[in-house]
């Protein structure tokens, strides 16, 4: 199987087939097992003795630090919430998905394989979205979400993947202007706009505008004029949607009862009552040990809403330091890393207080793909400078 094809299969399973029946009707545990099986299949197909050396190399050190932080968070869960280590190992089972990072090094796709897989996944997501609108009975959808068929109600997991082709083709566009690149960027961006996920849409829009403005080419003026024309036409046609998104954002940010505002205040001022929890987190808590998570949900407080802060609250400061280090290196050493990797890092950093919560499988795979490509550049340009 081609590596690009395997990545597409992995991502389809990872996003649970977007609810397409009969796969979408399976239980969450069953789909989790299928995901692990597809990961194991990748190991069996692509593993070789050479890959063993890669897994022992410095490329895996940040991964092991992340895993160490996750495992150490079991200590506060035990000390302060009475969650036994055996219960933690059961509750933490979803964290096995982090092993997708070493899996990527075993598969060893090229940068183009990753981008092409992301491109085709975006096409499949867009197709699944319109199919859900036309034939919702083919998908596992809660009945209450079918009444109005709102965009938000039919939201598909994996929208962040659509930014990968955008960043990559923006980079190619800086090197050589090809209308094919621009068409692919427009297609992926149009899908993100349709989904109207502000945490993804606002940063990628800003990054696209800056990237297009800074293109250096003898055709730059023509391209800028064309992009401004398309942008102006698009903005006029979608003015109401943009105003609604901005008004909604402004209203929520100024509302003390908005879930994210409540969650931020809780995690900053209430969540950690001791230094150990501040360093190692509070752990991923089971309802069998404490009702804390259920009580927080009743207040509208979710770790997944708060990005790095939510992850820190559960798994401590160690993984957060790793995340920030991995994302800042391409921005600091600008000449050694691809432009699209810098845009990708900026996208995640700009979402650090919203959707950059890598405890969620959807956002974990987005980070894992970045981690893999980052390490390819790091080994090529930076590792030898520090050893």
Instruction: Name the nearest CA neighbour of 145 among 298, 305, 19.
Output: 19
Provide the pLDDT for residue 10: 96
Query: Cis peptide leading into 251, omega within 30 of 0?
Result: no
Q: In sequence order, what DSSP letters do the residues of 109-132 get, joined into one string?
A: --HHHHHHHHHHHHHHHHHHHHHH
Provide the pLDDT for residue 387: 45
Provide the pLDDT for residue 144: 56
Q: HSE of 50 in the Cβ direction (CA atoms, 13 Å)? A: 4
Q: HSE of 272 in the Cβ direction (CA atoms, 13 Å)? A: 23
- The CA-based angle 228-195-237, given to 5 degrees, is 40
Provide the pLDDT for residue 384: 52
pLDDT tens string for the chain (387 positions)?
899 999 999 999 999 989 888 888 888 899 999 999 999 999 999 988 877 777 777 889 999 999 999 999 999 999 999 899 999 999 999 999 999 999 999 999 999 999 999 999 999 999 998 888 888 888 877 665 555 555 555 678 889 999 999 999 999 988 887 888 889 999 999 999 888 888 898 899 999 888 877 776 666 666 667 666 666 666 666 766 767 777 777 777 666 777 788 888 888 887 777 889 889 999 999 888 888 888 888 888 888 888 999 999 999 999 999 999 999 999 987 677 889 999 999 999 999 988 899 999 999 999 999 999 999 988 876 655 544
Provide the pLDDT for residue 61: 92
Instruction: Name the nearest CA neighbour of 285 among 128, 145, 109, 76.
Output: 76
Cα dist from 252 to 152, 257, 259, 262, whole Å: 17, 8, 9, 11
Radius of gyration of the chain (CA): 21
Provide the pLDDT for residue 386: 47
Helix (H, G, I), strand (E, B) or coil at 139: strand
Q: In sequence order, what DSSP letters do the residues of 267-325 get, joined into one string?
A: HHHTS--SHHHHHH------TTT-SHHHHHHHTT--GGGSHHHHHHHHH-HHHHHHHHH
0.85 exceeded by pTM: yes
């Amino acid at each position: 199987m081609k590596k690009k094809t395997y990545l597409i299969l992995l991502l389809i399973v990872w996003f649970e087939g977007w609810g397409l029946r009969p796969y979408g009707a399976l239980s969450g545990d069953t789909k989790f097992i299928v995901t692990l099986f597809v990961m194991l299949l990748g190991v069996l197909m692509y593993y070789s003795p050479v890959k063993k050396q890669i897994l022992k190399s410095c490329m895996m050190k940040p991964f092991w630090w992340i895993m160490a932080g996750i495992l150490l968070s079991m200590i506060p869960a035990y000390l302060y919430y009475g969650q036994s280590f055996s219960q933690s190992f059961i509750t933490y089972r979803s964290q096995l998905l982090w092993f997708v990072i070493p899996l990527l090094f075993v598969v060893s796709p090229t940068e183009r394989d990753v981008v092409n897989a992301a491109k085709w996944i975006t096409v499949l997501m867009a197709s699944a979205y319109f199919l859900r609108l036309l034939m919702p009975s083919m998908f596992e959808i809660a009945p209450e979400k079918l009444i109005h068929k709102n965009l938000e109600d039919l939201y598909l997991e994996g929208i962040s993947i659509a930014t990968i082709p955008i960043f990559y083709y923006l980079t190619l566009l800086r090197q050589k202007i090809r209308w094919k690149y621009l068409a692919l960027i427009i297609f992926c961006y149009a899908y993100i706009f349709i989904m109207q996920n502000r945490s993804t849409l606002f940063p990628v829009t800003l990054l696209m505008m800056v990237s297009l403005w800074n293109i250096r080419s003898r055709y730059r003026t023509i391209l800028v004029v064309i992009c401004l024309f398309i942008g102006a036409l698009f903005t006029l046609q979608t003015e109401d949607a943009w105003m609604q998104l901005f008004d909604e954002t402004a209203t929520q940010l100024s509302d003390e009862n908005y879930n994210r505002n409540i969650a931020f205040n809780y995690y900053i001022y209430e969540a950690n009552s001791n230094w150990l929890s501040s360093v190692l987190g509070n752990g991923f808590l089971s309802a069998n040990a404490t009702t804390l998570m259920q009580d927080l949900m009743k207040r509208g407080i979710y770790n997944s809403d708060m990005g790095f802060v939510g992850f820190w609250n559960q798994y401590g400061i160690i993984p957060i330091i790793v995340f920030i280090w991995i994302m800042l290196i391409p921005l600091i050493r600008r000449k050694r890393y691809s432009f699209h990797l810098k845009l990708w890092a900026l996208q995640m950093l700009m979402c650090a207080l919203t959707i950059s919560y890598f405890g969620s499988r959807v956002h974990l795979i987005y980070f894992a793909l970045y981690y893999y490509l980052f390490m390819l550049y790091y080994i090529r340009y930076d590792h030898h400078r520090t050893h």
